[in-house]
Amino acid sequence: MTGTRHLDAFEAARPKLLGLAYRMLGSMADAEDAVQDTFVKWQVAERTAIANPEAWLTRLCTNRCLDSLKSAHRNRVDYVGSWIPEPLQIGGRADPLDDVEKAESLTTAFLLLLERLSPRERAAWLLREVFGNSYDEVAGTLDIGEAACRQLVSRAARHLRQPASRFVPPPAHQEKMLSAFLAALETGSHETLAGLLAETVQFQSDGGGKSTALSRVLETPEAVGKYVARILGRLWAGGRLETIGINGLKGLAVMRDDQLIAAVTFRYTEDGRIDRVFNIRNPDKLMRLRMPVRHDPGSGALWI
């Protein structure tokens, strides 16, 4: 394989590698590091010994992510407050929500659900169900037998059978919920949210110790509704709220003096009510949100 073909092979695989690494790690910065490390090893690899470049790169990137998850677990033990995956603005199509059901593996709620899996379960399920690899290919990537691979995917699937984390309402319904949320912020009255919040609703805020955020998770419709209307409405008064696509769902970007200070996205129950409000305040996680990322739901690939 010539130098140019060697580079072309990596560039062809890069978007899928990035899509895999982001879903594995919940952080675009960490995902880019994993892909870059994969590229460095690809440059010095013995090319004649690699029969299938994409499979080789996928294996290397997956193992790099598995290594990262070991240290990530230790870091999250010491994380200040709730940890929420880094939000992405999904762009690049006329309406980035057209394929949202196929892109459910990118929603904030689903990425958090993946956190319940062991790292190898997460890798096996993503490679099989999102990226469409055969059981034999996944087994080769993880260096295990096919029977063990099937067990990993099966166990992961059982953990992921939580309807609320996978339900994606139609765009019109999301607009309705956002309008009610905005009305509560603007009027200071939580009555606009009455009946729209599930009994199981929770409000999570991620400041990472770098920005003021709730240190506890709020529960019950009354507590969440009052906090949104009376506290956030006051804190965000004078700011500019923009509707943007966050990880495949309609969400809010909160601007003050042209600086992004918060991003809000939701999880919905099967009957369309809000049962999670995710408020990302950590400035490190907001840095990239104004730069759209292109996603191909069919392949799971991500382009920066």
For 235-250, how does the pLDDT look when each residue is reduced to its tens digit (9 = 90+)?
999 999 999 999 989 9
What is residue 102's predicted lDDT score, i.e. its pLDDT? Answer: 56
Determine the 3-state secondary structure of 301 from DSSP: strand
What is residue 103's predicted lDDT score, i.e. its pLDDT? Answer: 64
What is residue 122's predicted lDDT score, i.e. its pLDDT? Answer: 97
Contact 17, 41 (CB under 8 A): no
What is residue 22's predicted lDDT score, i.e. its pLDDT? Answer: 97
Same domain, 258 and 193: yes
What is residue 71's predicted lDDT score, i.e. its pLDDT? Answer: 81
Residue 136's CB is within 10 A of a number of other CB atoms, namely: 10
What is residue 166's predicted lDDT score, i.e. its pLDDT? Answer: 65
Task: Give the CA dihedral 234, 235, 238, 240, nearest 10 degrees.
Answer: -120
Q: How many domains does the chain have?
A: 3
In a domain, 112, yes or no: no
In a domain, 122, yes or no: yes
Residue type present at position 9: A
What is residue 288's predicted lDDT score, i.e. its pLDDT? Answer: 93
What is residue 183's predicted lDDT score, i.e. its pLDDT? Answer: 96
Report d(CA 292, CA 304) in Å as an integer. Answer: 7
DSSP bridge partners of 302: 295
Tokens of 281: 């305040």
Q: At what angle do helices 28-43 and 3-25 cross, to 10 degrees?
A: 150
In a domain, 64, yes or no: yes
Same domain, 203 and 266: yes
In a domain, 220, yes or no: yes
C-alpha Rg value of the chain to the nearest Å: 20
What is residue 139's predicted lDDT score, i.e. its pLDDT? Answer: 98
Same domain, 182 and 279: yes
* Tally of CA atoms within 13 A in the half-sphere of 33 that contains its CB: 12
Same domain, 123 and 199: no
Determine the structural domain holding residue 10 and report its residue range.
1-78
What is residue 2's predicted lDDT score, i.e. its pLDDT? Answer: 62
Report d(CA 98, CA 96) in Å as an integer. Answer: 6
In a domain, 89, yes or no: no
pLDDT, block means (10 residues), the chain with 304 residues: 80 97 96 97 89 96 95 77 94 49 80 93 96 96 98 94 73 96 96 95 96 94 97 94 94 95 95 96 95 90 94
Name the H helices within 143-259. Answer: 146-159, 163-166, 171-187, 221-226, 233-235
Contacts for 218 with CB less than 8 Å, ≥ 6 apart:
202, 203, 224, 227
What is residue 168's predicted lDDT score, i.e. its pLDDT? Answer: 86
In a domain, 298, yes or no: no
Report d(CA 283, CA 262) in Å as an integer. Answer: 8
In a domain, 177, yes or no: yes
Same domain, 44 and 127: no
Same domain, 51 and 16: yes
Same domain, 4 and 62: yes
Report d(CA 133, CA 121) in Å as an integer. Answer: 14
pTM of the model: 0.93
What is residue 167's predicted lDDT score, i.e. its pLDDT? Answer: 80
What is residue 3's predicted lDDT score, i.e. its pLDDT? Answer: 66
CA distances for 99 relative to 168, 211, 252, 303, angstroms: 10, 34, 20, 16
CA-closest candidate to residue 26, choices 103, 109, 102:
109
What is residue 233's predicted lDDT score, i.e. its pLDDT? Answer: 95
The residue among 159, 192, 213 that closes a domain is: 159
In a domain, 39, yes or no: yes
Same domain, 150 and 174: no
